[in-house]
Amino acid sequence: MMEKISVVKKIEAYWDKRSDSFDADHDTEDLQAWMEALECLLGSDKNRNVLDLGTGTGFLANMTARLGHSTIGIDISKEMMNFGVKHAKTVGSDAIFMEGSVLELPFMDNTVDFIINSRLIWTLVEPDMAIKEWLRILKPGGKMMCFNRMKEGVGLNIGKVNIYEDEEVDKQLAIKGARMEELRDLLERNGLVDVQIQKLSGLTRPGYDYDPWFVLMGTKDEAENRFIS
C-alpha cells in the first residue's frame, strides 16, 4: 500500500497537468444559473463565510465571493489555482486561494459556515477521514455541500479506468462509483444531520450530453454548540 503522502503527490501532479483542459470544461456551464443556484443555497446572510475545498480553477469560489461571501479556496494543485487567481482578477472576485490538502485543513474548529466543493468527492482516497475533518471546522448549524454530476437515480458514474495513470492510486478511490444512498450514508455516519441529495437543473448549457448536477448536503448538528466555551 502506498504511503498517503505519495498518493497525494501523484494526484497533485495529475491535476497540475490537467489544469488547462479542466478549466475549459467549465465553459460548458451556465454561469448565471449557477450564481442563482448558489445564492439560493447559501441564503441572503452575507456575513457567512465559505470554504471551497478542491477549488481547482476557482469555479465555485469566485462565484461565492462575487455573491458577497468571504471565500477561501484550497487545493493541492498550484497550477489549477493559478487559473482561479486569473479568473478572480477578470470577474472582480476577492476570493483567497491557498495550497493545502482536504484531509488536513489549516483552520480552527467551528470556524466555517459553509464548506462547498465541486467534483471533488469522487476523488477522495480516504473519504471518512475527509468528512470528519470537514465537520471539525464547520460551525454548529453550518452546512456542507458537495456538487457533482451524477446518473439520475443511481449516483456517481465515474467509469474511467486508471484515472490517475497509476493503478495503486486508482485502487484507493473508494467512492468513485458510489450510489446515492452510499453518499448519504457517508455523511450521516460521520456526524452530519439533515442529509439530502438535491437535483440542480439547468446548470449545463444546452447541447452538452452530461449527467445532471446534484448537490449532496448535510448540516452540523446545532447541539454541537454545547461544546463551545
Domains in the chain, ordered, with CATH? 4-224 (3.40.50.150)
**b/e map 105-139, b = 16+ CB within 10 Å:** bebeebebbbbbbbbbbbbbbebeebbebbbbbbb
Q: How sure is the predictor about 224, in pLDDT bands with cuts at 50, 70 and 90? A: low
Amino acid 3: pLDDT: 62
Per-residue pLDDT tens digits for 134-178 = 999 999 999 999 999 999 999 997 766 677 777 777 778 889 889
Among 57, 90, 86, smallest CA distance to 73 is for 57
Query: 219 with 193: CB under 8 angstroms?
Result: yes
Helix intervals (H) in 67-219: 78-91, 127-137, 167-170, 180-189
Rounded Cα distance between 172 and 188, Å, is 21
Q: What is the pLDDT of residues 45-89, one digit of tens each?
A: 999 999 999 999 999 999 999 999 999 999 999 999 999 999 999
Question: For residues 140 and 194, is the Cβ–Cβ distance under 8 A?
Answer: no
Residues in the chain: 229
| Residues 6+ away with beta carbon under 8 Å from 160 | none
* 192 vs 126, higher pLDDT: 192
Residues in CB range of 9: below 8 A, 6 or more apart:
none
Three-state secondary structure call for residue 145: strand
**What is the grid cell recorded at 178?**
458510489
Q: What is the pLDDT of residues 124-139, one digit of tens each?
A: 989 999 999 999 999 9
Query: Does the global pTM surpass 0.75?
Result: yes
Of residues 143, 129, 154, the one with CA closest to residue 193: 143
> The cell 459556515 sits on which residue?
113
